[in-house]
Structures are given as structure tokens and as C-alpha cells.
Amino acid sequence: HQAGQLPQIQALLEHPAFDWKNPNKVRSVIGAFAGQNLAAFHSADGSGYQFLAAQVCRLDDSNPQIAARLISPLTRWKKFAPAYRQQMKAALEHVRNKNELSRDVYEVVLKSLAD
């Protein structure tokens, strides 16, 4: 397996040193995956987008400001080829449909989907 692929990222979230309450650790794992590991994030099967959407939903309950910042790679969905665009938009819609979504995340997602 190549380092930085989704299974390794998911394993890092289970590591004892990882702490969901530490914004720097969250950004260094999830933010770096979505913002800098473009090959894995933009995987043709959409798993990177689904992963980011799931983590944003999880974080939204405890730290909506970080969640709103982390979702930004998905908000650029219109700049991608149709196959990617569709999957990125679906991930945003998944987040939008979360129960009790914070105002922070809701505004970012709604603005992206409305443009």
C-alpha cells in the first residue's frame, strides 16, 4: 500500500496520538489529506469525497468552525470534470442533509451548492 491512501488515513484517525479535540491534529490528518493528497482525495470512486464528508459531519457536532474550514476542498466542485463534479456535489449534499447541521457548515455548503 502507498502511504497517504485512504486506509492509512483512516488508520491514523484510530491512532492513540490522534485527538478529535485537538484542531491541529484534525487539520494535519484530514486537512492535509483533502488539501494536499490530491491523488487519493480525488480517487475516481469518490471515496475521498465521502470520507471528507463523513469527517466533516462528525466534527460538526464538536467543532463546527474547523468542520466548515475542512469542507472547502469540496466547495470547488464546479472546477472539475463531470464525473468528479457529480461525486463532490453528492458529498456536499450528504453534509447538507445532516441532522442539526451547524450554521457554520450549513452556510459554506449552501453557498457552494447555490452558486
Q: What is the pLDDT of residues 75-114, one digit of tens each?
A: 999 999 999 999 999 999 999 999 999 999 999 999 999 9
100 domain-assigned: yes
95 domain-assigned: yes
Count of domains observed in the chain? 1
Residues 67, 57: Cα–Cα separation, whole Å: 8
Domain range spanning residue 16?
A: 6-114
> What rounded mean pLDDT belongs to the chain?
94
For the four alpha carbons of 96, 102, 108 and 114, in that order, the dihedral sign comes to: positive
pLDDT in tens, 24-54: 999 999 999 999 999 999 999 999 999 999 9
Q: C-alpha angle 80/90/113, rounded to 5°? A: 75
Q: How confident is the model at residue 2 (pLDDT cuts 50, 70, 90)?
A: low
E strands of the chain, at which residues?
Answer: none
DSSP 8-state assignment for residue 39: H
pTM exceeding the 0.85 threshold for the entire prediction: yes
1 domain-assigned: no
